[in-house]
Amino acid sequence: MVLGSLPLSLVVAGTTSGVGKTTVSLAIMYSLKYRMGYNVQPFKVGPDFIDPTYHKIVTGNQSKNLDAWMMGKEGIIRSVFDASEGVDIAVIEGVMGLYDGLSGKNDFASTAYVAKVLDAQVILIIDAGRAARSVAAMAMGYIQFDKAVNISGIILNNVAGEKHARYIREAFEQKLKVPIVGIIRRDKELRLRERHLGLIPTDELDRKMKGKVLDIARSVADEISFDVLLKIIENQKKFKQRKLPKEGTKKTVTKPTQPNKIRIAVALDNSFNFYYAENLGVLQELGAEICYFSPIQDKKIPDDVSGVMIGGGFPEVMADKLSANRSMRKYLAKLAEDDMPFYAECGGLMYLTKAIYGYTKSPNSFKMVGIVDAVTNMVGKLTLSYTQADVLDNKYGKIANLRGHEFHYSRIEDAAKDLRYAYDMRRGYGINGKKDGVSIYNCLASYMHLHFSDHRFPKKWIDRCREYAKA
């Protein structure tokens, strides 16, 4: 693979969480694709499984994650390069507030950090619902806070009406040169449906609901000035031409030759759908042929499989259906006992415990696969953190400084005292504050989500699947 110059990039950032980044990002993507004719490649800053699936509804292209903690600077650049062939522009939805990152000391792992790495222009969204002239002061603060971040336009969300909009425009004209790209009126109908972990996964949306997503994107796009947006893009084209030679600095990267194929069964339905597209791509690069199965509907996994992957999702929401599929639960337990390699993250870990309870006020406890000698309690308290761990397990050897994230509302309880753990946590809570990654039979099940841009773990797991296939 040959690496050249980066594509044109727009970062859609917010002053805080909850200002409408996803809705506005979809609107900008819609404008660029359907009204300007651009081939748009979407991205999402930070660890997020759901928002990227909404990007795909609008653009038709698979969105990818850009996370400095898990991927590093080079991983971010590589991901953008890999997705940029034939692309006119990259639109990158930010995370949290523009400057919110790993700590208060610097902007590492923030939206601002990614914007600087990619030399991207930033469209900043401000919720103007409870201010008028003060909105200009807020914008000025964000613009001046770090002048290396190129804030090229402002979008005002939650604006009450024309009088409200006029006050804000007058303040901007007096104090700021950065243009207002759009003014979005207050409208409850423009909100996307949410659940306790964020938006409703698109796998659960029927055709009508997906159509509504497009309708919302189209309606919000009507509030955005094409002329101003196009001028920002044209300015970036000039900037790119000044900054980079015509051919760019090229670096040749040789991908490893593909080994013999092995089949990996990946759980995919309304209960399990939290997967980075890049992770599945890495498994394929390492020789895996991916096939899918539904723990809700299927009685068993596909034939000739040498490993099982169960990602995150909402097993608590689908607990009654997962429990009712006794055939699948027994089948997976038998495969695990027969030493087929399993890899499970978060929701997958919960599914492999003995039971899930506590999601509703109902006292019901729903039986799960049961190979992890513990139960899952939906405690209603969020665990959210970047994670860092050392792998201390004979099956995988020692892997230092494995990075990921955790995001869930559950706790593993009543764990057997003799449970073995593969991860020694340096950062994050894991299962018990010190350990994560239950290691049983040939299975590894953890709360920690990994990004496979670090190939060390997935390579070892695929190796174990290949050993199983030979046995």
- Residues with catalytic annotation? 346
Are the CB atoms for 60 and 30 separated by under 8 Å?
A: no
How many of the other CB atoms lie within 10 Å of CB of 391? Answer: 21
**Of the candidates 281, 280, 400, 285, which has an alpha carbon nearest to the alpha carbon of residue 345?**
280
DSSP 8-state assignment for residue 350:
H
What's the sign of the alpha-carbon dihedral 270, 187, 91, 140?
Answer: negative
Q: SS3 helix, strand, coil % of the chain, rounded to 5? A: 35, 30, 35
Which residues are paired to 443 by β-bridges?
Answer: 342, 440
Token pair recorded at residue 188:
């409850």
Are the CB atoms for 142 and 15 separated by under 8 Å?
A: yes
Query: Residue 83 and residue 69: Cα distance in Å, rounded?
Result: 20
How far is residue 98 from each of residues 217, 353, 384, 459, measured CA to CA in Å? 22, 38, 19, 35
Please tell me whether residue 44 adopts helix, strand or coil conformation. Answer: strand
